[in-house]
Amino acid sequence: EVKLVESGGGLVQPGGSLRLSCATSGFTFTDYYMSWVRQPPGKALEWLGFIRNKANGYTTEYSASVKGRFTISRDNSQSILYLQMNTLRAEDSATYYCARDQLDGYYGWFAYWGQGTLVTVSA
Protein backbone atom coordinates (compact mmCIF):
# COMPACT_ATOMS: atom_id res chain seq x y z
CA GLU A 1 0.00 0.00 0.00
CA VAL A 2 1.33 3.41 -0.98
CA LYS A 3 1.63 5.79 1.96
CA LEU A 4 2.73 9.40 2.18
CA VAL A 5 2.92 11.01 5.64
CA GLU A 6 3.90 14.63 6.07
CA SER A 7 5.28 16.15 9.26
CA GLY A 8 7.09 19.24 10.47
CA GLY A 9 4.39 21.86 10.21
CA GLY A 10 3.66 24.36 12.93
CA LEU A 11 3.73 28.02 13.90
CA VAL A 12 6.69 30.06 12.68
CA GLN A 13 7.42 33.78 12.75
CA PRO A 14 7.68 35.83 9.57
CA GLY A 15 11.18 35.57 8.19
CA GLY A 16 11.71 32.21 9.82
CA SER A 17 12.45 28.78 8.40
CA LEU A 18 10.84 25.38 8.58
CA ARG A 19 11.60 21.97 7.10
CA LEU A 20 8.77 19.65 6.18
CA SER A 21 9.18 15.93 5.71
CA CYS A 22 7.16 13.40 3.76
CA ALA A 23 7.82 9.80 4.77
CA THR A 24 6.87 7.36 2.06
CA SER A 25 6.38 3.62 1.82
CA GLY A 26 4.83 1.01 -0.40
CA PHE A 27 6.68 1.85 -3.61
CA THR A 28 10.20 2.18 -5.00
CA PHE A 29 10.86 5.79 -4.03
CA THR A 30 13.70 6.39 -6.48
CA ASP A 31 11.50 5.57 -9.48
CA TYR A 32 9.15 8.50 -8.96
CA TYR A 33 9.00 12.23 -9.35
CA MET A 34 7.74 13.76 -6.10
CA SER A 35 5.95 17.09 -5.74
CA TRP A 36 4.90 19.51 -3.03
CA VAL A 37 1.50 21.22 -3.28
CA ARG A 38 0.02 23.70 -0.81
CA GLN A 39 -3.44 24.98 0.00
CA PRO A 40 -4.12 28.12 2.04
CA PRO A 41 -7.17 27.79 4.29
CA GLY A 42 -10.33 27.88 2.18
CA LYS A 43 -8.38 28.45 -1.02
CA ALA A 44 -7.22 26.53 -4.05
CA LEU A 45 -4.31 24.18 -4.56
CA GLU A 46 -0.92 25.51 -5.68
CA TRP A 47 1.91 23.33 -6.98
CA LEU A 48 5.25 24.38 -5.53
CA GLY A 49 7.76 22.17 -7.26
CA PHE A 50 9.03 18.68 -7.86
CA ILE A 51 12.16 16.62 -7.64
CA ARG A 52 12.83 14.18 -10.44
CA ASN A 53 13.52 10.47 -10.12
CA LYS A 54 16.82 8.63 -10.24
CA ALA A 55 16.72 8.21 -14.01
CA ASN A 56 16.51 11.97 -14.36
CA GLY A 57 19.18 12.85 -11.87
CA TYR A 58 17.03 14.03 -8.94
CA THR A 59 16.97 17.55 -10.33
CA THR A 60 14.35 20.06 -9.24
CA GLU A 61 11.86 22.53 -10.67
CA TYR A 62 9.97 25.22 -8.74
CA SER A 63 7.07 27.56 -9.18
CA ALA A 64 7.96 31.21 -9.50
CA SER A 65 6.24 32.00 -6.20
CA VAL A 66 8.74 29.98 -4.13
CA LYS A 67 11.85 29.75 -6.31
CA GLY A 68 14.87 30.89 -4.33
CA ARG A 69 13.13 30.53 -0.94
CA PHE A 70 12.06 26.88 -0.94
CA THR A 71 14.23 23.83 -1.64
CA ILE A 72 13.02 20.32 -2.35
CA SER A 73 15.31 17.40 -1.57
CA ARG A 74 15.05 13.69 -0.97
CA ASP A 75 16.74 11.05 1.17
CA ASN A 76 16.53 8.04 -1.08
CA SER A 77 18.00 5.70 1.54
CA GLN A 78 15.05 6.39 3.84
CA SER A 79 12.41 7.21 1.18
CA ILE A 80 11.78 10.66 2.62
CA LEU A 81 10.97 13.83 0.72
CA TYR A 82 11.79 17.23 2.20
CA LEU A 83 10.72 20.82 1.71
CA GLN A 84 13.03 23.42 3.21
CA MET A 85 11.21 26.73 3.52
CA ASN A 86 13.14 29.93 4.23
CA THR A 87 12.20 33.60 4.63
CA LEU A 88 8.62 32.64 5.36
CA ARG A 89 5.81 35.13 4.85
CA ALA A 90 2.22 35.28 6.11
CA GLU A 91 1.02 34.27 2.64
CA ASP A 92 2.93 30.98 2.96
CA SER A 93 0.42 29.89 5.63
CA ALA A 94 -1.22 26.77 4.22
CA THR A 95 -1.61 23.03 4.44
CA TYR A 96 1.34 21.48 2.64
CA TYR A 97 0.92 18.19 0.80
CA CYS A 98 3.42 15.89 -0.79
CA ALA A 99 2.19 14.08 -3.88
CA ARG A 100 3.54 11.27 -6.02
CA ASP A 101 3.62 11.26 -9.80
CA GLN A 102 3.32 8.17 -11.99
CA LEU A 103 6.01 5.58 -12.63
CA ASP A 104 9.18 6.61 -14.40
CA GLY A 105 8.38 10.12 -15.45
CA TYR A 106 6.52 13.39 -15.18
CA TYR A 107 2.84 13.03 -15.91
CA GLY A 108 1.71 15.89 -13.73
CA TRP A 109 -1.37 14.31 -12.24
CA PHE A 110 -1.34 12.98 -8.73
CA ALA A 111 -3.06 9.83 -7.58
CA TYR A 112 -1.31 9.70 -4.21
CA TRP A 113 -1.28 12.50 -1.66
CA GLY A 114 -0.29 12.74 1.95
CA GLN A 115 -2.71 13.92 4.61
CA GLY A 116 -1.06 17.34 4.76
CA THR A 117 0.74 19.34 7.42
CA LEU A 118 -0.35 22.83 8.47
CA VAL A 119 2.10 25.72 8.43
CA THR A 120 1.11 29.00 10.04
CA VAL A 121 3.33 32.04 9.61
CA SER A 122 2.46 34.65 12.20
CA ALA A 123 4.06 36.86 14.80
Partner 1 sequence: DIVMTQSHKFMSTSVGDRVSITCKASQDVSTAVAWYQQKPGQSPKLLIYSASYRYTGVPDRFTGSGSGTDFTFTISSVQAEDLAVYYCQQHYSTPPTFGAGTKLELK
Whole-angstrom CA distances from 44 to 23, 39, 41, 47, 113 are: 24, 6, 8, 10, 15
Closest separation in Å from C-beta 115 to partner 1: 6
Nearer to partner 1, 14 or 108 (CB): 108
Name the site residues for partner 1 (rule: CB under 8 A): 44-47, 50, 61, 63-64, 97, 106-111, 113-116
Helix (H) or strand (E) holding 11: strand 10-12
Least separation in angstroms between residue 19's CB and partner 1 is 20
Element (H, E) at 25: strand 18-25
Query: In the complex with partner 1, which residue's Cβ is closer, 82 or 97?
Result: 97
Nearer to partner 1, 64 or 123 (CB): 64
3-state SS, residue 56: helix
Read off the amino acid at residue 44: A
Question: Given the complex with partner 1, which of 29 and 97 has the nearer CB atom?
Answer: 97
CB of 89 to partner 1, least distance (A): 19
- Residue 109 CB, nearest approach to partner 1 (Å): 4
Cβ-count burial of 114 within 10 angstroms (0-12 exposed, 13-18 middle, 19+ buried)? buried
